[in-house]
Amino acid sequence: MLIKTRIWFFMHLTLLVALSLFPFQNVAAKPNLQQGITSPSQLIDAVNGLRLAYGLQPLAIHPVLMQSSQSQADYMAATGQVTHERPGGISFTQQLLGLGFPLSGDLSLGGFRAENILMSPNPIVWDGVPPGWQDALHMNTMLSQNFTHIGAGISQGPDGYYYAVDCAAVTGSGQMQSSASVILTSVPGAEIAGENSLGISQYMVPVSLSTARPDGDVFHKVQYGQTLWSIAIEYGTTIKNIQALNYLGEDLVVYQGQLLLVKKAATQPAPVTFTPQPILTTTPTTIPALGTPSISIPTQLIASPTSTLVEKTPPVNAQSSKLLVGMLIFAAFVGAGVAVWLIRDPN
Q: What is the pLDDT of residues 15-45, one digit of tens each?
A: 555 555 544 444 333 333 357 999 999 999 9
**For position 342, what pLDDT does the model report?**
58
Torsion of CA 216, 252, 43, 197, to 10 degrees: -80
More confident residue, 340 or 131: 131
**In angstroms, rounded to a whole number, what is the distance separating the alpha carbons of residues 35 and 139?**
23
Tell me what pLDDT residue 51 has: 94
- Cα 16 to Cα 274: distance, rounded to the nearest angstrom: 87
More confident residue, 312 or 333: 333
pLDDT score for 195: 42
Q: Residue 132 corresponds to which amino acid?
A: G
Summarize the confidence of residues 308-333 as an average pLDDT. 54
Work out the percent of the chain whose per-residue pLDDT is above 70.
Answer: 61
pTM: 0.56
Distance CA 303, CA 268 (A): 60
Lowest mean pLDDT among 86-90, 123-127, 252-256, 286-290: 286-290
Q: Which residue has the higher pLDDT, 243 or 288?
A: 243
Distance separating alpha carbons of residues 183 and 189, to the nearest angstrom: 9
Residue 94: which residues within 8 A CB-CB, separation 6 or more?
Answer: 86, 183, 184, 188, 189, 191
Domain boundaries, the chain: 40-185, 218-263
Q: What is the predicted pLDDT for the residue at 172? A: 92
- State how far the Cα of 96 lies from the Cα of 252, in Å rounded to an integer: 25
More confident residue, 298 or 204: 204
CB 38 within 8 A of CB 81: no
| Higher pLDDT pick, 109 / 26 | 109
The domain at 40-185 falls in which architecture? 3-Layer(aba) Sandwich (3.40)
Predicted confidence at residue 2, as pLDDT, reads 55
Question: What's the pLDDT band for 193 if we cut at 50, 70, 90?
Answer: very low
Q: What is the mean pLDDT of the chain?
A: 75
More confident residue, 252 or 267: 267
What CATH number is given for 218-263 in this structure? 3.10.350.10
Number of Cα atoms under 13 Å in the Cβ half of residue 81:
7
Gap between the Cα atoms of 40 and 156, Å rounded: 12
Contact yes or no for 110/191 (Cβ under 8 A): yes
Neighbours of 263 (CB within 10 A): 19
